[in-house]
Structure 1
């Protein structure tokens, strides 16, 4: 008897969540297409790149919004069970509320593992494709967004600094490159180029419209070239915008990158740590939101499913709001990133225990 009920609830859990994703992702794609179709036509974007962009778009936003989809889907089908008095029948047969929760916890485990695998293996590459497409093809307001988010100014050693703008992951090229070297307070040389391109086979860089100015006591020496291949003591990741690079690195590379930035004393280290910690906090939220959703919707209410969904939407957006607020707080202040990222889970975890305790009664 119990196995039949477990299979029934688990099936409804997974199917409803999948349907919720399949319903809302196409809506998101349609809205995105309607906003960007004019820019795509003006820039003559190849259909293949558009198709790849929306594949990346699907993975990126499914990962970003999966807590909301999961929460609403659990409330939806649990409310239906409650309205059909199926939950009353199950609990009246002598099954405890904790035992009733078992298939939900199994479902949350499956979803959490799937979300963790996605965030480690699929989301980084999807994020790179999604962002590089926007950086490459957006015009008008889009270019303002690129300008605000893609300029990189970074100290690569004790006395060397680099600057680039508008980095493109697709062709591994950055624009408006400059590099300055100092001795104390004195500038020794400044190197500029319209473009800098990474060559993965040769493991070097190509500079286009290159100019190097060496500052000397008796006069400056200027060297120019239309194209110059050279080697630098910085990595390709150093040319990439702050959040951009953190979101596009696989887990093992992200750990190495963070260690390297810590050794450099990077001022952006909190931003990288937020991305890292969210890879683990989001899957855990599946358990917390599942417990809250069941506790809220297992009771039959006068308002029916509408009342449960209204409560669920408020709680879901409260969770997302807290997640965003504490994420920004960690990036822009001295708040510990680990605590900031996990605060929404801690707050809603306490709420889940409270609601579960009342539901059992």
Structure 2
């Protein structure tokens, strides 16, 4: 039996790797497209983009591993049925429970690995992601500035740039409106050219104009070069991971103690989600096997289609439940755990049916 168990696990290996890789790539597409824009238009280096993607991987893997395992198991057990290997296993006295034993053990190990990702790797990855995006913002501040757009989000000034050369990171025809006291007119600065040094704009060949309380010009002048700090404006690239998703369960349990009423709901939803998704790996593993075994005409295409349907349904129900929980329509426990309960019931029904017929 040990030889057969090893054989089953060996046959599952490549299909599971394929499934996880496929779903991970699908989840990464949106991020890759966004980062490609940063490479082409905003001049961020390819190395930094690869590093950003590597820090996105752990939170994505925590969601795609159960999906990939499900697809891999379906492909493997469909192959066992087509080649009559499942019939051979049954003929030597292996019942469905014995056939499923090695993949259930595998699923438990994968579930523990997902918990390890969530509790140890993801918080660190999120921290590194924040650090690298902040580093990019400081080293390449021009990526957040837009041509011919008035930026009025700074504390003491508004900024307008007519033209930006992304290859040299130089700007041309700059307008700066220095804000002063509420009842006073601002100081106007017109620069012909500017370049970037750290998070500061260095204006060259600029004129400035200040006005009195009646709006009449009271002073004008010019300067060859002037450094204008903009560090308060620059922030990280938008991170497509919510802060709460990067917290481990222990931190969430600690933070929820300081919350009251509706403030607790997001934390309850996230705690339950971090438990429900890893545990779904075990359910999906058994479900994938019992759905595939015994269907002689089902090939990789059929397995792929069925797995997509099941995974799509699971994701939809989970997200709908989470949204309803966030809005207080249902309990966080009901909203998050209902998809797992439905999968468990379906798995038990199919298991009993296949156990009688194998």
Question: Into which bin does the TM-score normalised by the smaller protein fall?
Answer: 0.5 to 0.7
Deviation at 1:318, TM superposition (A): 0.9
Deviation string, structure 1 residues 231-259 (Cα, Å, up to 9, x no partner): xxxxxxxxxx9x83311223322221111
| 1:9 corresponding residue in structure 2 | 8
Match for 2:299 among 288, 298, 304?
A: 304
Q: Distance in 2 between matches of 1:24 and 1:315?
A: 13
Deviation string, structure 1 residues 253-272 (Cα, Å, up to 9, x no partner): 222111112xxx26332112
Give the alignment of 1:116-155 within 5 angstroms. 116-129=115-128
Q: Distance in 2 between matches of 1:82 and 1:45?
A: 50
Q: Distance in 2 between matches of 1:47 and 1:336?
A: 44
Aligned length: 258
**Aligned Cα RMSD in Å?**
2.9
Q: Distance in 2 between matches of 1:292 and 1:111?
A: 16
Q: Distance in 2 between matches of 1:306 and 1:248?
A: 36
2:330 aligned counterpart, secondary structure: coil
2:258 aligned counterpart, secondary structure: helix
Deviation string, structure 1 residues 266-316 (Cα, Å, up to 9, x no partner): 633211211111111112101111111011101133343433332222112
Match for 2:267 among 263, 269, 272?
A: 272
Q: Is the 8 A contact 1:83 1:305 kept in 2?
A: no
Structure showing greater radius of gyration is 2
Q: Distance in 2 between matches of 1:99 and 1:246?
A: 41
Change (3 A) 1:21 1:312: closer
Q: Distance in 2 between matches of 1:28 and 1:339?
A: 26
Deviation at 1:82, TM superposition (A): 1.0
| 2:340 corresponding residue in structure 1 | 345
Q: Distance in 2 between matches of 1:272 and 1:285?
A: 20
- 4+ residue runs of structure 1 moved beyond 6 angstroms? 131-140
Deviation string, structure 1 residues 151-202 (Cα, Å, up to 9, x no partner): xxxxxxxxxxxxxxxxxxxxxxxxxxxxxxxxxxxxxxxxxxxxxxxxxxxx
Give the alignment of 1:278-293 within 5 angstroms. 278-293=273-288
In the alignment, structure 2 segments of 5+ residues that lack a partner are 138-142, 146-238
Change (3 A) 1:82 1:134: farther
Q: Distance in 2 between matches of 1:85 and 1:130?
A: 49
Q: Distance in 1 between matches of 2:26 and 2:309?
A: 21
Deviation at 1:96, TM superposition (A): 1.0
Q: Is the 8 A contact 1:72 1:312 kept in 2?
A: yes
In the alignment, structure 1 segments of 5+ residues that lack a partner are 141-240
Deviation at 1:130, TM superposition (A): 5.0
